[in-house]
Amino acid sequence: MQRNSRRNNLRISGIKESPGENTDNAVLGIAKALGVELSPNDIGRSHRVGKPKTFASVTKDDTPPRPRDILVQFASYQG
């Protein structure tokens, strides 16, 4: 049951975060770059996973923290 509830989801890693971003637009941009046809109606919802990181969370070697993953839930599933 849990597996079926997650089958419409995709987790995307490594996408730079920006203040006030729209993760739906980020997902659409990634799809376009990959040559995948995707419209805003295909996305049920999307959001970053986890707590927002602050500048205080910069690592000891002054590298910025890894961006949080984007979790996308698509409106439908075709298997």
Digit-coded pLDDT (tens) for 13-60: 999 999 899 999 999 999 999 999 999 999 999 999 998 876 555 566
Q: What is the pTM of this model?
A: 0.80
Number of domains in the chain: 1
11 contacts: CB under 8 Å, gap ≥ 6: 49, 69, 70, 71, 72
- Over 70: is that where the pLDDT of 78 sits? yes
Query: Domain for residue 64, yes or no?
Result: yes
In 3D space, the residue among 29, 24, 23 whose CA is nearest the CA of residue 41 turns out to be: 24
Query: Domain for residue 79, yes or no?
Result: no
The CATH number assigned to the domain holding 25 equals 3.30.70.1820
